[in-house]
Amino acid sequence: MREYTHLLGKRVEARYRAGELRLSAVGDLVSDSGTSVCIEDRFVQNGREKKMRLEVPYQHIFAIEEKVDKNAIKALPNIPSLSMRTWQPPDPKRI
């Protein structure tokens, strides 16, 4: 079985199965017992802060990946990707 201790305290997305359903959950990885992981999410509902915790056994996990914080993405410099650059046809005089 794979251990997920390196992701403790980080925001993660877990994809797992419950019976015949494939589900996903996003939250903070708060514990890894060696046989299961606990994912916790905090939210505000009706003006009150609430907490939801989910325990998923290792044998039901398909994948757990770290989620990138949207605020961290905004802090990255604006670098155009290759697909955004304009394509210039070759100069016929050079061919």
CATH code, domain carrying 13: 2.30.30.100
In a domain, 76, yes or no: no
pLDDT at position 61 over 80? yes
Confidence (pLDDT) at 68: 80
> What pLDDT digit, counting tens, does each position of 13-55 carry?
999 999 999 999 999 999 999 899 999 999 999 999 999 999 9
Confidence (pLDDT) at 2: 72
84 vs 87: CA distance, rounded Å:
9
Residue with tokens 């999410």: 41
In a domain, 40, yes or no: yes
In a domain, 38, yes or no: yes
Residue with tokens 């990707």: 81
In a domain, 63, yes or no: yes
* Total tally of structural domains belonging to the chain: 1
* pLDDT tier, 78 (very low <50, low <70, confident <90, very high otherwise): low
Specify the amino acid at residue 52: M
What is the extent of the structural domain holding 24?
A: 5-67
In a domain, 82, yes or no: no
39 vs 10: CA distance, rounded Å:
10
Edge-first strand order for the sheet with 36-45 is: 48-57, 36-45, 21-32, 11-18, 61-66
